[in-house]
């Protein structure tokens, strides 16, 4: 621990370093899975979906820990857009359930709700240490941190009945550790709160979440362990849900802020954790890009994909939950720049 560095910050940095190694190994295995999954999704879309003349609007939200606040900033700029299908993974899953509580036409209230929650959210409402600390999380538990606070936060702020009555389709994704497969959850999932927590369970960092699906209980972690952004899922759901001839999908990538040149620390510090982080972010950026490219290639001119991502490095370290206001402002500005192009 360096001089002047608090014990909690030092412990957090050690935890993040351990988690980075785990995540890097997981992410290196994803690329081939994504292409196969998109092909499976396309086969499930009926050819009859070509018959309509309308446009279905969809939203796909990726992960990124506290960078979910950046997504909220983008949505603030897009608050007039009425999404019929909303899909999210990890932090994007939390934003998705929050949005989906509001009926189509109530976008302004939905965005105001999300902004308020991000501006007041503290890490103590998302996770906490195990009684024996990180050592217990690493050696005994299924994650470095206990996310029971997130369960309590979601229970207090998410109304499942409203989600089911909103008229929107909701899609979340989590990874089944028993079958090693990506699984979808929708607004009619029995335990939607825990499905959301499972989708947000970053492997190695947050504890795995037990869920019962089709009568079988399995442990689940972050959907991003298999499929980073639910672009193809949301497009396919639009065609299934409506008789639209085209889909317009907005994709928000909260951790697409990989402009290393704008963040000097990556160029000046060459320690193992920073080398691993730089490699990790490169892999993540490539996977995000391939998710979008696969969807565009699969659906062709039937789908228009608009991407929003950070134009510069965002503050903090993903698990701090202290810089929401700055990230919201950056998201709003980046969205404005994309729309004005």
Cα gap 273→29, rounded to integer Å: 20
Contact 201, 209 (CB under 8 A): yes
Q: Cβ contacts of residue 323 below 8 Å, gap of 6+?
A: 66, 69, 314, 315, 316
Pairing of strands 169-176, 85-88: parallel
Catalytic residue of the set 49, 200, 222, 250: 222
Cα gap 285→278, rounded to integer Å: 11
User: Looking at the DSSP assignment, which residues form a beta bridge with residue 87?
Assistant: 60, 171
Q: Is 222 a catalytic residue?
A: yes
93, containing H or E segment: helix 91-100
Measure the CA dihedral 20/307/267/321, to 10°.
Answer: -50
Catalytic residue of the set 49, 90, 96, 200: 90
3-state secondary structure of 317: coil
Cα gap 17→260, rounded to integer Å: 19
The residue behind tokens 């909701």 is 170
Q: Is 90 a catalytic residue?
A: yes
Contact 73, 324 (CB under 8 A): no
Reported in sequence order, the residue ranges of 6-123 that DSSP labels E, i.e. its strands, are 55-61, 85-88
DSSP letter at 323 equals -
Considering Cα of 62, then 333, then 113, then 166, what sign does the dihedral take?
Answer: negative
193, containing H or E segment: helix 192-199
Q: Name the residues annotated as catalytic.
A: 90, 222
């Amino acid at each position: 621990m360096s001089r002047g560095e608090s014990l909690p910050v030092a412990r957090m940095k050690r935890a993040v370093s351990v988690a980075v190694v785990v995540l890097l190994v997981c992410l290196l295995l994803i690329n081939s899975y994504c292409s196969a999954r998109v092909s499976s999704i396309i086969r499930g879309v009926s050819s009859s979906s070509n018959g309509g003349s309308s446009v279905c609007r969809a939203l796909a939200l990726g992960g990124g820990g506290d960078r979910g606040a950046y997504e909220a900033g983008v949505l603030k700029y897009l608050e007039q857009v009425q999404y019929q299908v909303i899909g999210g993974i990890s932090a994007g899953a939390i934003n998705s359930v929050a949005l989906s509580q509001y009926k189509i036409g109530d976008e302004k209230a939905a965005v105001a709700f999300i902004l308020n929650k991000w501006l007041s959210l503290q890490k103590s409402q998302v996770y906490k240490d195990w009684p024996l600390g990180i050592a217990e999380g690493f050696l005994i538990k299924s994650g470095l941190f206990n996310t029971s606070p997130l369960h309590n936060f979601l229970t207090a702020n998410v109304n499942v009945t409203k989600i089911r009555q909103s008229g929107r389709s909701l899609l979340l994704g989590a990874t089944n550790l028993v079958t090693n497969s990506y699984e979808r959850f929708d607004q009619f999932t029995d335990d939607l709160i825990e499905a959301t927590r499972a989708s947000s369970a970053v492997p190695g960092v947050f504890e795995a979440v037990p869920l019962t699906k089709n009568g079988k209980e399995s442990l689940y972690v972050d959907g991003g362990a298999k499929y980073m952004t639910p672009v193809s899922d949301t497009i396919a759901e639009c065609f299934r849900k409506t008789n639209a001839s085209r889909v317009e999908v907005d994709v928000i990538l909260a951790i697409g802020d990989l402009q290393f040149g704008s963040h000097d620390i990556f160029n000046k510090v060459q320690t193992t954790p920073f080398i691993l982080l730089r490699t990790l972010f490169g892999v993540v950026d490539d996977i995000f890009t391939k998710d979008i490219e696969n969807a565009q290639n699969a659906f062709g001119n039937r789908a228009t994909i608009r991407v929003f991502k950070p134009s510069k490095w965002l503050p903090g370290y993903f698990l701090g939950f202290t810089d929401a206001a700055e990230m919201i402002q950056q998201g709003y500005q980046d969205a404005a720049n994309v729309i004005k192009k």
